[in-house]
Amino acid sequence: MRSGAPRTSQPVVPAKRAPNADGSEREGDRIAKLLARAGIASRREVERMIEEGRVKIGDEVVTTPATLLTSLKGVSVDGKMVGPIAAPRLFRFHKPAGLITAERDPTGRPTIYTALRNAMPKDAPRVMPVGRLDVNTEGLLLMTNDGELKRALELPSTGIPRTYRARTFGDITQARLEELMEGIEIDGVRYGPINANLERSANRNKWIELTLTEGKNREVRRVLEHLGLEVSRLLRTSYGPFELADLQRGSVEEIPQVMVERFRKTLKAK
Q: What angle do CA 155, 157, 161 make, to 5 degrees?
A: 75
CATH 3.30.70.580 fits 90-157+242-269, yes or no: yes
> What pLDDT is recorded for position 202?
79
Chain centroid offset of residue 50 CA: 20
> What pLDDT is recorded for position 164?
98
Please tell me which residue in 59, 105, 123, 134 is annotated as part of the active site: 134
DSSP 3-state assignment of 45? Answer: helix
**Residue 137 is which amino acid?**
T
Topology at the third CATH level for domain 29-81: 3.10.290
> What pLDDT is recorded for position 269?
63
**Contact present, 39 and 99 (Cβ < 8 Å):** no
Concerning whether 134 is annotated as a catalytic residue, the answer is yes
CA atoms within 13 A on the CB side of 213: 12
| Per-position pLDDT tens, the chain of length 270 | 333 444 444 444 444 444 444 444 557 889 998 998 888 887 888 999 999 999 999 999 999 999 999 989 999 999 999 988 888 899 999 999 999 998 888 899 999 999 998 899 988 888 999 999 999 999 999 999 988 889 889 988 888 999 999 999 999 999 999 999 999 999 999 999 999 999 977 788 999 999 999 878 899 999 999 999 999 999 999 999 999 999 999 999 999 999 998 988 888 766
- Sketch the domain layout of the chain as residue ranges: 29-81, 90-157+242-269, 161-239
Judge residue 25's burial from the number of C-beta atoms within 10 Å of its C-beta, 0-12 exposed, 13-18 middle, 19 or more buried. Answer: exposed
Class of the CATH-defined domain 161-239: alpha beta
Do the domains spanning 29-81 and 90-157+242-269 agree at the CATH topology level? Answer: no
Helices (H), 163-213: 174-178
